[in-house]
Amino acid sequence: MDYQSILYEARDQTVYVTFNRPESMNAISRQMARELVEACKQIEDDSALRVAIFTGAGERAFSAGMDLKERAETSFSPIDRRNQKISATIHTQSRAIAAMTKPTIAAIRGYCVGGGLEMALACDMRVAAEDAKLGLAEVRRGLIPGAGGTQRLPRAVGVAKALELCLTGDNVTGSEALRLGLVNVAVPAAEVMKAAEDLASRILKGAPMSVAFIKEAIKKGVELPLEEGLRLEADLSAMIATTEDSKEGPRAFAEKRAPVWKGR
Amino acid sequence: MAEEKVLYEVKDQIAWITLNRPESLNAVNRDMVRAIVGYCKQANEDRNVQIAIFKANGERAFSVGGDIKDRVRANESGAGSEAESPLVIRQNRHSAMPGTPAPAIAAIDKITMALVHGYTVGTGLLMSLACDIRIAADNARLGLSEVRLGFMAGSGGTQRMARLVGIPKALEICLSGELYDPQECHRIGLVNQLVPYDQLVPAGEKMAQSFLKGAPLALRYIKEAIYKGSEMTLEQGLRFESDLQSMVMQTEDAKEGPKAFIEKRPAAWKGR
């Protein structure tokens, strides 16, 4: 697909998806939303790709969130929108990112607010500039964070802090976000992409199916009672044991060499 | 052509999806799974469709299940075949075909109905379990025989059956692999209605017509309230129901309904 509002760049096993509307602080237009859904599908379908890094074009913003100018200008059916968000077919960018089986990393510089933060929250891990600004200010626009923010933020930072941030609409810096557990890593802005790539390259040392199953075990399991989560883990562990890579790993260890993964 | 083994027709707001492989008792092969999954998506996205009804051609069977020859072929082609790898299928990649059409049917937001007759076994029964409503003909024989093939009623078979008929009866049906007569199935709630075979399609149409007297969004919200609400505590479910009610009361149709009633005419639904 020919992307107009995002950049899609596959390099080796990593794909870089860049929100590319720097003139609008990478605000999420309807077109960008559609393209992101498509891009996520493309990433999942490409067996050569193993990690996705999402970032914003330019220095000023990861993404400022929903394009409010566009929103003010277009007619809007709340019911249609709700149906879109919950239908079995994925229509929204945050759901598309959250549904990916491959690991996702948000590389955040500048403003990461509203729908922008919601997209970052939909990623598995976040690397932020120390002076990045993260927040959910929908309350001040007569809206609510409707792309997962009210659900993913408390799960990341706890209810009290999530209430504080969502009700005030205040931003936190990347450093503060590190302290809160909202981001995994906070570094000077110039080092953000390198830090994201470091994280990706360490993940790429693991076997592909192991990476996918661990992601599933952790993300799904954490929502289950412990006993059910342990059962999920046991099932995934049994499935992994049927792969060739699960034999290659121990063999490579015994032979004191790097493993060669086949992804099956 | 694979599509001819499954027929799709939209008429008067109903999408009819018909299994059309009567020479093989409507055994569902991979091509048919693909076709059905496609039609489910099509019906779900078509604003002119409010109800999807599944039925099958040929007198002897709705479907005898998944095409076993397909499975033997897949087993013999070995674990290298990525398309068959349960690991890949399990990973829920949108491009991987599920083993049966059941998940795609369950994902339809509109009202779904299965009109079953004759042998309704394995994948055939799984497909109908994924529908909201089942109507059976008096010549139907329903069963989940996967256990006798060395595996399980997957694709929601064990889960939906247990929630539908209760654990003891679900255990009996899934463990025995036996065929059950339609009277028993009606008695235990596995099917909503039991009719003579020649009344099967008319009965489906009649029920569908009664649904179509309701506004499109109301139909979908009721479906959602009942399914999702049943998985919550009562208090959460009541709150959920109330939210959905608030949403539907905002629609034009919710104003058209009472107006039409007072003006003693049928409502003209707009679906918004």
Token reading at B272: 């918004």
Per-residue pLDDT of chain B (272 residues; tens, 9 = 90+): 555 999 999 999 999 999 999 999 999 999 999 999 999 999 999 999 999 999 999 999 999 999 988 888 877 876 445 455 566 656 544 445 677 899 999 999 999 999 999 999 999 999 999 999 999 999 999 999 999 999 888 889 999 999 999 999 999 999 999 999 999 999 999 999 999 999 999 999 999 999 999 999 999 999 999 999 999 999 999 999 999 999 999 999 999 999 999 999 999 999 99
Give the Cα separation of B2 and B107 in Å (integer): 22
Within a domain: A1: no
Give the Cα separation of B52 and B101 in Å (integer): 14
- Write out pLDDT tens, residues A196-245: 999 999 999 999 999 999 999 999 999 999 999 999 999 999 999 999 99
Residue that finishes a domain, picked among B174, B191, B212: B212
Residues in B lying within 8 Å of A, measured between beta carbons = 41, 44-45, 82, 85-87, 90-95, 107-109, 217, 220, 247, 250-251, 272
- Option in B41, B87, B217 nearest A79 (CB): B217
Q: Is there a single domain that holds both residue B12 and residue B115?
A: yes
- The active-site residue, picked from A9, A44, A138, A244, is A138
The ipTM (two decimal places) reads: 0.74
Q: Is there a single domain that holds both residue B111 and residue B241?
A: no
Active site residue A138: yes
Neighbours of A180 (CB within 10 A): 17
Q: Is there a single domain that holds both residue B64 and residue B115?
A: yes
Domain coverage including residue B247: 216-262
- Determine whether the interchain pair B93/A77 forms a contact, defined as Cβ–Cβ distance below 8 Å: no
**What CATH number corresponds to the domain at position A14?**
3.90.226.10
- Option in A45, A242, A264 nearest B95 (CB): A45
Whether B142 and B136 have beta carbons less than 8 Å apart is answered as yes
Domain coverage including residue A173: 6-203
Q: Is there a single domain that holds both residue B45 and residue B169?
A: yes
Give the Cα separation of A244 and B79 in Å (integer): 11
- Write out pLDDT tens, residues A111-170: 999 999 999 999 999 999 999 999 999 999 999 999 999 999 999 999 999 999 999 999
Residue B258 has, within 13 A of its CA and on its CB side, a CA count of 5
Give the Cα separation of A197 and B60 in Å (integer): 60
- Determine whether the interchain pair A242/B109 forms a contact, defined as Cβ–Cβ distance below 8 Å: no
Within a domain: A263: no
Tell me how close the Cα of B184 comes to any Cα of chain A, in angstroms: 33
